[in-house]
Amino acid sequence: MQSPWKILMVAPLFLLLSLQSSASPAYDDLSRPRDSNGHTCVGCVLVVSVIEQLAQVHNSTVQASMERLCSYLPEKLFLKTTCYLVIDKFGSDIIKLLSADMNADVVCHTLEFCKQNTGQPLCHLYPLPKETWKFTLKKARQIVKKSPILKYSRSGSDICSLPVLAKICQKIKLAIEQSVPFKDVDSDKYSVFPTLRGYHWRGRDCNDSDESVYPGRRPDNWDVHQDSNCNGIWGIDPKDGIPYEKKFCEGSQPRGIILLGDSAGAHFHISPEWITASQMSLNSFINLPTALTDELDWPQLSGVTGFLDSTVGIKKKSIYLRLWKRNHCNHRDYQNISRNGASSRNLKKFIESLSRNKMLDYPAIIIYAMIGNDVCNGKSDPVPAMTTPEKLYSNVMQTLKHLNSHLPDGSHVILYGLPDGTFLWDNLHNRYHPLGQLNKDVTYAHLYSFLNCLQVSPCHGWMSSNKTLRTLTSERAEQLSNTLKKIATSEKFTNFDLFYMDFAFHEIIQEWQKRGGQPWQLIEPVDGFHPNERKSVFLKGMLMTSQTLDNQEWTQLTSWIKGNLTCDSRTREWLCCCLRIVSGRRCSSSGPKSWERRIHSTPRLNRCLETKVGTEPLRSMHPWGAQGGRGLGKLMPQTLGLLRHRPKGVSFSSIFAKCLSLNEEHIWMTVQLCLLLGSVTLPLFLK
């Protein structure tokens, strides 16, 4: 994805397309200067299209539609004021060209925001004019022959060249490039400011004047005098003299969630209302200033670190909110170290922004999710620019060694595989893009072709009509996923366990279709590439629990596992053994056969094996939840450490009966839940 810094510098006439331009993937070097002609062209075509369609929707003049667009923009960041200034500069010629029935492609080529270089193909979004392109362009240039706009457009403009803005621009640019907060008084990498890499991206600082106070650290003297880890728990209970932090959090194994990701993990999103004339209103751009200062990302809504409620009516919660709900001692302990355009190749440029002290902080769950840019680029021949399996192995090992030197002991790292992006073309190519819905003239196939021609596509390999190229891209993605899987199974590190998970794309689609949705609804409608909020939340939710979590019995079982079972390799073997029995298979030769014999030796479980239905309910869940008390005590898991004895009221057979009453998907989700939320060992069934 293109560096979002350009968005803050580009002329606001092309504001709406500047948004689209930031959807393009970066190449190997994020800091390398790049030719922005392609992005400028896309921006011009988008904005001129919106102006033209606003006039059509409201049956108004082009002048009125431009003024209407500016009236919709907020005053923040001087967006409204700048828009009116741009109208004054460019409006007259745009009016002339649109009044002469020139479409957005012709307007932008005439004004030289789009250029066809010698020997290069003509890039256009809309169908070509009935007359020849050369004749149409010559006619359009005659209309604006004496206009000063052409000279202006070639001269360029950069607001950061102004002396009064140079220093502030440089500071903002540095914050974005290094992925650290713009406003951070004590330089602890946490901020009290929401955007510009502030607490939308990582937990909010509760004392920005003290670098020893930040989310995720172990409490200083049980936080008797101050809240050193910003989880809102500090002081002493006057009734018994015990510090609240000790009372609520000791033994609960708090752990943070950290995402190392790309634009998908950062939740890149361009609102369709920003470019859809029929939906545009005074409320359409309310969130635009926030989006611009968050690099057009919405990490506060992401499937991993999001802390705000979903905007699309999904009840699923992010991984952070699930961890927080399980243990409020995890409050504010999240970090979204994602960047637009990030890949295994350039992660080293900003991984230093990760904040974790192996001596002072709690362990963390780290999700490595570079799911696209190692195979995605916008080059005319994208295959040579893809990361090879050998290079990926080297890059990931470098990242893991860095994590091992910074993460506290007891952390977990999950390597996420790459998806099969052939889904994009198969489900979107013949659907109308938001710009084409009014006049039925622009499909996603047209958009993909336009972006590929300009070499600014987020992923030429998958967003292409060339089936062979799409297949090659998916094959490379599968090779890279297998490389990640190999690393997870063969490499060991001292401070964290290493796991691998496939990108469960087909499972997400199936679940969405069960709810009455269509596959194409899981993709961002404007860029036609990124997973949207629905898909993101579903994907991360599958890491945490079954889709049938609302079922009371399943909730009881998973709650019991989270509260009592700790998850080393033997725990996973035990759960997989259960999975094999449910599916009618025996445990593998390496599996815990003694457990299987013990299962079959229990008459009650023999009946369960025959009927595949467990009938004995859990008798009591109280011993493993929070133990009584008032206030936060009710919300704190009290017993998540090693269990010395089997809990009262629950027999070995009742747990397995409950296990056997579930289907294979439930058990597999339990294994995944175990991987994420478990702790150290399993003494319960080994006596």
pLDDT tens per residue, range 588-642: 444 444 444 444 444 433 443 343 333 333 333 222 222 222 333 232 232 222 2
Containing H/E element for 496?
A: strand 496-501
Whether the predicted pLDDT of 331 surpasses 70 = yes
Q: What is the pLDDT of residue 393?
A: 98
Q: What is the pLDDT of residue 239?
A: 94
Residue 215 has φ and ψ, to the nearest 5°, of: -65, 145
Residue-wise pLDDT for 67-88, tens only, equals 999 999 999 988 898 889 888 8
Q: Pick from 566, 509, 582: which is nearest to 686 by CA?
A: 566
Compare 347 and 563 and report the one with higher pLDDT.
347
495 and 369 in one domain? yes
* Region 196-202 average pLDDT: 96
477 and 366 in one domain? yes
Does 510 reside within a domain?
yes
CB 618 within 8 A of CB 560: yes
Last residue of a domain, one of 132, 152, 172: 152
Does 571 reside within a domain?
no
In order of 191, 227, 636, the CA distances from 233 in angstroms are: 19, 6, 12
CA angle 429, 430, 433 (to 5 degrees): 80
Of 380-389, 489-498, 657-666, which gets the smallest average pLDDT?
657-666
CB 209 within 8 A of CB 218: no
Q: What is the pLDDT of residue 176?
A: 79
Does 74 reside within a domain?
yes
User: Which tokens sit at 190?
Assistant: 């946490």
Q: What pTM value is reported for the model?
A: 0.77
Q: What is the pLDDT of residue 174?
A: 78
Show Cβ contacts of residue 30 under 8 Å, excluding neighbours closer than 6 positions: 3, 177, 339, 341, 346, 349
Distance, CA of 244 to CA of 235 (rounded, Å)? 6
Q: Pick from 533, 562, 570: which is nearest to 545 by CA?
A: 562
CB 2 within 8 A of CB 23: yes
Whether the predicted pLDDT of 335 surpasses 70 = yes
Residue-wise pLDDT for 309-328, tens only, equals 776 656 668 899 988 988 99
Please confirm, yes or no, whether 263 is among the known catalytic residues.
yes
In order of 20, 38, 411, the CA distances from 35 in angstroms are: 16, 7, 42
CB 260 within 8 A of CB 338: yes
Q: What is the pLDDT of residue 187?
A: 96
Q: Pick from 539, 501, 504, 69: which is nearest to 273 by CA?
A: 69
Residue-wise pLDDT for 96-122, tens only, equals 999 999 999 999 999 999 999 888 899
Of 88-92, 205-209, 352-356, which gets the smallest average pLDDT?
88-92
Residue count of the chain, please give it: 687
Does 234 reside within a domain?
no
Indicate the Cα dihedral angle 317, 320, 324, 329, nearest 10°.
180
268 and 135 in one domain? no
Q: What is the pLDDT of residue 326?
A: 85
Does 665 reside within a domain?
no
Whether the predicted pLDDT of 39 surpasses 80 = yes
Amino acid at 245: E
Partners of residue 260 on adjacent β-strands: 337, 368
Q: Which range marks the domain in which residue 356 is found?
A: 254-546
CA angle 495, 557, 305 (to 5 degrees): 45
* Region 557-580 average pLDDT: 50
36, 153, 228, 263: which is the annotated catalytic residue? 263
289 and 424 in one domain? yes
148 and 276 in one domain? no
Compare 215 and 113 and report the one with higher pLDDT.
215
* Region 552-579 average pLDDT: 49
DSSP string of 597-610, one letter each residue: HHHHT-HHHHHHHH
* Region 269-283 average pLDDT: 95
Whether the predicted pLDDT of 480 surpasses 80 = yes
Give the total number of structural domains in the chain.
Answer: 2
Q: What percent of the chain has pLDDT over 70?
A: 69
Indicate the Cα dihedral angle 447, 450, 453, 454, nearest 10°.
-110
258 and 115 in one domain? no
Of 189-198, 474-483, 553-562, 573-582, which gets the smallest average pLDDT?
553-562
**256-261 and 411-416 beta bridge pairing:** unpaired
Indicate the Cα dihedral angle 570, 574, 577, 582, nearest 10°.
-160
SS (H, E, C) 265-297: HHCECCCHHHCCHHHCCCCCCCCHHHHHHCCCE
280 and 148 in one domain? no
Partners of residue 500 on adjacent β-strands: 415
* Region 339-361 average pLDDT: 96
Last residue of a domain, one of 522, 546, 570: 546
Does 207 reside within a domain?
no
What band does 158 get if pLDDT is binned at 50, 70 and 90? low
Whether the predicted pLDDT of 284 surpasses 60 = yes
* Region 487-495 average pLDDT: 96
Largest CA distance in the chain: 95
Partners of residue 361 on adjacent β-strands: 217
Distance, CA of 228 to CA of 131 (rounded, Å)? 71
Is the torsion defined by CA of 173, 174, 180, 181 positive or negative? negative
Average pLDDT over the chain, rounded to an integer: 78
Amino acid at 578: C
Last residue of a domain, one of 546, 563, 578: 546
CB 346 within 8 A of CB 360: no
Residue 114 has φ and ψ, to the nearest 5°, of: -115, 140
SS (H, E, C) 405-443: HHCCCCEEEEEECCCCCHHHHHHHCCCECHHHCCCCCCE
Does 379 reside within a domain?
yes
CB atoms within 10 A of CB 79: 18
* Region 353-374 average pLDDT: 96
What band does 513 get if pLDDT is binned at 50, 70 and 90? confident
516 and 379 in one domain? yes
Q: What is the pLDDT of residue 607?
A: 43
Of 139-148, 160-169, 515-524, 532-541, the range with the highest mean pLDDT is: 515-524
DSSP string of 522-569, one letter each residue: GB-TTTS-SB-HHHHHHHHHHHHS-TTTTSHHHHHHHHHHHHH---SH
Domain CATH code at residue 458: 3.40.50.1110
Does 272 reside within a domain?
yes
Residue-wise pLDDT for 2-34, tens only, equals 433 333 333 333 343 333 334 444 434 443 334
Q: What is the pLDDT of residue 379?
A: 95
What band does 229 get if pLDDT is binned at 50, 70 and 90? very high
CB 305 within 8 A of CB 259: yes
Of 230-244, 338-352, 530-544, which gets the smallest average pLDDT?
530-544
Taking each continuous run of H as one helix and of E as one strand, the counts in the chain are: 25, 5
CB 24 within 8 A of CB 457: yes
